[in-house]
Amino acid sequence: MKTIRFIFTTSILILFCSNVFAQLEWVPFEGEIPTNAVIGGHEANRILPVCRCEFMGAKHPGKVVANKCNIGYGGAEKAVAKFEILVNNGMATLDWFKAEGKLPDNAVQAGTERGVPLYVGRSLFKGGTHPGKVFSIGKGRYICNIGYGGKEITEKTFEVLVEIHPKKEAMHLDHDNRCDIGIDSIGGEVAVATYIGSMPIDRRINEGTCLVSNNMRYAARVTDDGRFVVEEVLEHAFCEDGRLLVFHAKEMWASQAKGQAPNLNYYLILQKEDGNLCVYSEEKGFVWCAMCHNKNGHHLELTNDGHIEVVNKLGSEIWPD
């Protein structure tokens, strides 16, 4: 299955925070695009991360192009060298919704200009998808302004970035003593969600931890006999200390039919040096690899339909091929 995704939430979960929703953050640009940056669009074979910059007394959302934040302002496209990038540190589930007559609930706000909120939006233009700013022009009407070709472009058909919060009743399971499980004793049928939606390159999934899909219906983990598996989740629990505990159910896919010797401290890694997805044992070394080396793998993704895949920077699936 070959797919292109214009937004992927490369989300490193901060598990031990007091507020499970405090996961979106604007961070200063320091020469490189963070692996957990929110990607708003694409053009001409390059991705366009979401950014915001200070300009004329307000913070305007836009797109990162050539290490600058490009916005539309006063009829022109402005390229600002000092800016911030929107990153997703973990729990936040993001999606783009069409603004059809009104602004969607939980739209992501970047700033305010003369008392008018500026939201993160994007619009199709000239064969690309361009992040920009959404704001009200009165009487419940909104537009999206983007920068392109040196000009400020106004679009009336656009999408708004929305943060989707889990249902309140799923927030805490105080009555469930499984939330009292210590981090060192977790294993077997219970795992801590270390990544939500995707795992960046050069990161690991150890025994007792897992990657879960954004809709919490699927989990990927390493078993205690060295197999990499994708499972349908029976149930999950948000705990008060910020952990997301995943209770595994039916196995859907496995890297190998037969396991290795048990209890050898297995882990999965998307290797930085060649982009290959591999399972190793701390004691014995190599166990399994996906054979997707040297294909510019950027992150491991688990989709909302349970599909596991290695994806490159442009959002194209390179494994399985």
Phi, psi of 185 (to 5 degrees): -100, 0
Q: Nearest-CA neighbor of 243 among 171, 294, 302?
A: 171
Give the Cα separation of 317 and 298 in Å (integer): 10
- The string of DSSP letters for 93-110 reads EEEEEE-SSSPPTTBPEE
Residue 254: beta bridge partners? 229
Which residues have CB under 8 Å from 161's CB, separation 6+? 38, 40, 50, 94, 95, 96, 107, 108, 119, 120, 121, 122
Q: What is the pLDDT at residue 90? A: 65
Q: What is the pLDDT at residue 198? A: 82
Give the Cα separation of 232 and 178 in Å (integer): 19
Give the Cα separation of 204 and 63 in Å (integer): 30
The winner for highest mean pLDDT among 39-53, 98-112, 158-172, 277-291 is: 277-291
Which of residues 141 and 23 earns the better pLDDT score? 141
Residue 100 has pLDDT above 80, yes or no: no
- The string of DSSP letters for 178-206 reads GGG--GGG--TTEEEEEEESEEETT-EEE
* Residue 108: other Cβ atoms inside 10 A: 19
**192-199: average pLDDT:** 82
What is the residue type of 179?
A: C
Tokens of 27: 């961070």
pLDDT tens, position by position, 230-248 = 999 988 776 666 677 888 7
Give Cα 297 to chain centroid, integer Å: 16
Specify whether the CB–CB gap between 319 and 309 falls below 8 A: yes
Residue 3 has pLDDT above 80, yes or no: no
Residue 170 has pLDDT above 60, yes or no: no
Tokens of 69: 């934040």
Give the Cα separation of 13 and 33 in Å (integer): 18
What burial class does residue 314 get, using C-beta atoms within 10 Å of its C-beta: 0-12 exposed, 13-18 middle, 19+ buried?
Answer: middle
Average pLDDT score, the chain: 83
**1-9: average pLDDT:** 35
Identify the helix (H) or strand (E) that includes residue 285. Answer: strand 285-289
How many helices (H) does the chain have, and how many strands (E)? 0, 28
Specify whether the CB–CB gap between 170 and 228 falls below 8 A: no
Give the Cα separation of 37 and 98 in Å (integer): 22
Structural domains in the chain, CATH included, are 21-164 (no CATH), 168-319 (2.90.10.10)
Residue 56 has pLDDT above 80, yes or no: yes
First to last CA, the chain: 7
HEC letters along 200-244: ECCCEEECCEEEECCCCCEEEEECCCCCEEEEEEEEEEECCCCCE
Q: What is the pLDDT at residue 68? A: 97
Give the Cα separation of 54 and 84 in Å (integer): 9
Which of residues 301 and 3 earns the better pLDDT score? 301
